[in-house]
Amino acid sequence: MRNSISPISIFLLLVVLFPIFPPLTRCSILPLNESDNLIEEICKQTPHYDLCLSYLQSNPQSSNADAKGLAQIMGDILLACATEELNYIEGLIKQAPEPELERSLAYCAELYIQVVKYTLPQALDALSKGEYKFANYGIADAGKEAQTCEKKFSGSTDSPVTDRNNLVENLSEVAKAIINVLLKG
Ligand SMILES: *[C@@H]1O[C@H](CO)[C@@H](O)[C@H](O)[C@H]1NC(C)=O
Ligand SMILES: *[C@@H]1O[C@H](CO)[C@@H](O)[C@H](O)[C@H]1NC(C)=O
Tell me the residue type at 179: I
Q: Which ligand is nearest to the CA of 47?
A: 2
Q: In this predicted structure, what is the pLDDT of residue 16?
A: 62
Pocket of ligand 1, candidates 32, 35, 37: which has the most ligand atoms within 8 Å of its Cβ, to mutate?
Answer: 35
- Say if residue 25's pLDDT is above 60: no
Q: What domains appear along the chain, each with residue ranges and CATH number?
A: 33-184 (1.20.140.40)
Residue 34 CA, closest ligand 1 atom number: 1
Spatial separation of the C-alpha atoms in residues 115 and 131, rounded to whole Å: 18
What would the mean pLDDT of 98-127 be, rounded to a whole number? 97
Residue 63 CA, closest ligand 1 atom number: 4
Please give the radius of gyration of the chain, using alpha carbons only, rounded to the nearest integer.
25
Q: In this predicted structure, what is the pLDDT of residue 12?
A: 63
Burial of 35 (0-12, 13-18, 19+ CB in 10 A): middle
Nearest CA to ligand 2 atom 10: 166
**Using one digit for the tens of pLDDT, what is the confidence trace for 7-16?**
777 666 666 6
**Using one digit for the tens of pLDDT, what is the confidence trace for 31-79?**
556 667 899 999 999 999 999 999 999 898 998 899 999 999 999 999 9
pLDDT band at 156 (very low <50, low <70, confident <90, very high): confident
